[in-house]
């Protein structure tokens, strides 16, 4: 399978036009394969969870905590769902026509793209100023947690650190989605100049053929990556053992018990 699609400019020179749409099917397949693999694994795994009595003990030790621990502010939740909505509109308007479902998609796509971009900008500002900015990032200091979590997956009971506010998987996912999201938004914003919008004078000649080719390929690669990433995200969101997290993204809080069971109170100090 070709990864890239080449075309010719009017001078007959080869130019990159976009990724090969075969990659869309590859991303869908990869996403599905991951789901199947993960679901099978979960059925068979010996994932080490805290026993109920352990959690009971912890809860008893921390009567100072309120019964509901605020996990996501209203602003953060609004951002998440607006972004999610925009992302779905973007993905469906981008890929349904390629899959053969024809409809006028461009206006929906660029409007959703602007919503997504706006929400990302909001999120960056919001997260920088009002949120615990570093809580979502991963770094070398997370290696012990990685090790501990892996051991727990294998059924061992280890003492190592538990997740702070965001589980490690969450944070890794965030990292990837930041990369894909920024790439798709930046290229998408550039591509706005290729179509007719109220904001810009259409000028497909703004960049050179080579720069446009790079932009289209990056947009496409980020786009198909997002197909896989979103599939995985939705999958985890609806898994029963993760449902409490999903619920927190709707309601904004988790129970004291959930807080103590899944998080390291040292690393995420609830107030």
Query: What is the contact surface with another protein in residues (CB under 8 A)?
Result: 7-12, 17-18, 102-107, 194-196, 201-205, 212, 216
23 or 229: CB nearest another protein:
23
Nearer to another protein, 106 or 124 (CB): 106
> In whole angstroms, how close is the CB of 179 to another protein at the nearest point?
23
> Closest by alpha carbon to 229, among 123, 78, 84?
84
The sign of the CA dihedral 76, 80, 83, 85 is: negative
Structure tokens at 250: 């709707």
State in angstroms the smallest separation of the CB of 226 from another protein.
19
CB of 101 to another protein, least distance (A): 11
Say how many C-beta atoms besides its own lie within 10 A of residue 250's C-beta.
10
Is 30 exposed, middle or buried, given 0-12, 13-18 or 19+ CB atoms closer than 10 A? middle
Q: Which residue has the tokens 């992302």?
A: 87
**Contact yes or no for 228/30 (Cβ under 8 A):** yes
Residue 150 or 195: the one with the smaller Cβ distance to another protein is 195
| Per-residue 3-state assignment (H helix, E strand, C coil) for 199-240 | CCCCCCCCCCHHHHHHHHHHHHHHHHHHHHHHHHHHHHHHCH
What does the block give as tokens for 166? 């965001």
Q: Is 246 exposed, middle or buried (0-12, 13-18, 19+ CB in 10 A)?
A: middle
> Can you point out the beta strands (E) in 55-153?
68-70
Please, which residue, 143 or 200, has the CB nearer to another protein? 200
For residue 14, the minimal CB distance to another protein (Å) is 9
Helix H or strand E segment including 17: strand 14-19
In the complex, the smallest distance separating the C-beta of residue 18 from another protein, rounded to whole angstroms, is: 6
The nearest distance, CB 85 to another protein, in angstroms, is 22
> Which C-beta is closer to another protein: that of 15 or that of 136?
15
* Residue (4 or 75) nearer to another protein, CB: 4
């Amino acid at each position: 399978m070709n990864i890239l699609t080449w075309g010719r400019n009017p001078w007959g020179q080869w130019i990159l036009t976009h990724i090969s749409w075969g990659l869309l099917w590859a991303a869908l397949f990869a996403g599905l394969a991951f789901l199947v693999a993960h679901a099978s694994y979960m059925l068979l795994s010996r994932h080490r969870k805290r026993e109920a009595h352990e959690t009971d003990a912890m809860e008893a030790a921390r009567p100072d905590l309120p019964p509901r621990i605020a996990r996501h502010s209203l602003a953060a939740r609004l951002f998440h769902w607006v972004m999610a909505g925009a992302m779905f509109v973007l993905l469906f308007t981008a890929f349904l026509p390629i899959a053969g479902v024809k409809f006028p998609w461009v206006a929906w796509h660029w409007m959703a793209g602007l919503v997504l971009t706006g929400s990302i900008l909001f999120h960056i500002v919001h997260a920088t100023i009002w949120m615990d900015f570093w809580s979502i990032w991963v770094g070398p200091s997370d290696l012990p947690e990685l090790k501990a979590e892996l051991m727990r997956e294998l059924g061992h009971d280890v003492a190592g650190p538990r997740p702070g506010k965001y589980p490690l998987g969450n944070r890794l996912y965030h990292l990837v989605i930041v990369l894909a999201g920024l790439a798709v938004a930046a290229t998408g914003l550039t591509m706005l100049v290729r179509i007719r919008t109220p904001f810009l004078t259409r000028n497909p000649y703004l960049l050179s053929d080579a720069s446009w080719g790079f932009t289209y390929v990056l947009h496409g690669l980020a786009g198909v990556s997002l197909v896989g990433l979103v599939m995985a995200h939705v999958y985890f969101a609806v898994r029963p053992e993760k449902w409490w997290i999903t619920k927190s993204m709707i309601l904004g809080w988790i129970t004291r018990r959930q807080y103590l069971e899944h998080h390291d109170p040292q690393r995420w100090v609830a107030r």
